[in-house]
Amino acid sequence: MAEKETGEVTSAPGAGNENLKWYVVHSFSGYEQRVLKFLEGPLALKFPDRVGRVLIPVEEVATARGSKRTTREKKLYPGYVFVQLEISEEMVLDIRSMGNVSGFPPGNRNYPQPLSDEEVRRVLGQADGRESPRIVRVPFGVGQTVRVIEGPFNNFSGVVESINPERGRVRVIFTIFGRKAPVELDFSQVRLV
């Protein structure tokens, strides 16, 4: 199966070939999709049953700016495309001659070496979301002072006690009438002072 960056799965000609091994193709940064299309298209047609899955591992990153939350996909390994191949000398020459490809990672310049089983499990686990959870960029940390910009505590300042990135919530301690009051707020409701 060939997996595109968007997560769509299409059938690959070499899906049943047990001699396929995972290799890394080094592309120019920003051209990973073009390399993926070349590997899935012309290369797979020229070498039927010798090209398997093609993968650009991505992770979902959520950011909070103002009252807006945005989610985007970020490449885990910019400039690298992972592909299953039953490799041959002619195939290596075709991949290296493609525009936007600088070859195989350093150390594999003469003839590409397949990834180890451990490396493959790690990369596939990250691509499927099993290994690392969604990453949320938070512009403040525990112990920092923040100001509430909306809601019932608008214009109050407090200290961050804990952050829950999975839920997009932050626990802030306010001092009200000389007593400490913990309040849980959404990331979009607070700003770093």
0.75 exceeded by pTM: no
The candidate with the shortest Cα–Cα distance to 144, out of 98, 77, 190, 81, is: 190
Residue 27 CB neighbours (<10 A): 23
- The one-digit pLDDT tens for each residue of the chain (193 residues) are 334 344 433 444 455 567 889 999 999 888 999 999 999 999 989 998 898 989 888 877 777 666 677 778 888 888 899 999 998 889 988 888 888 888 887 665 567 888 888 888 887 776 655 544 455 677 788 999 999 998 888 899 999 999 987 778 899 999 888 899 999 998 888 888 8
Instruction: Supply angle C-alpha 6, 8, 11, rounded to 5.
Output: 140
Domain positions in the chain are 2-136, 139-192
Pick among 1.10.10.10, 3.40.1160.10, 2.30.30.30, 1.10.340.30: CATH of 139-192: 2.30.30.30
User: In whole angstroms, how far apart are CA 17 and each of 45, 84, 118, 159?
Assistant: 15, 10, 20, 58
Class of CATH domain 2-136: alpha beta
Reported for 112-116, long-range contacts at CB under 8 A and 24+ positions apart, including other chains, are 112/23, 112/24, 112/87, 113/23, 114/21, 114/22, 114/23, 114/87, 115/21, 115/22, 115/23, 115/24, 115/82
Which tokens belong to 85? 């191949």
How far is CA 180 from its chain centroid? 40
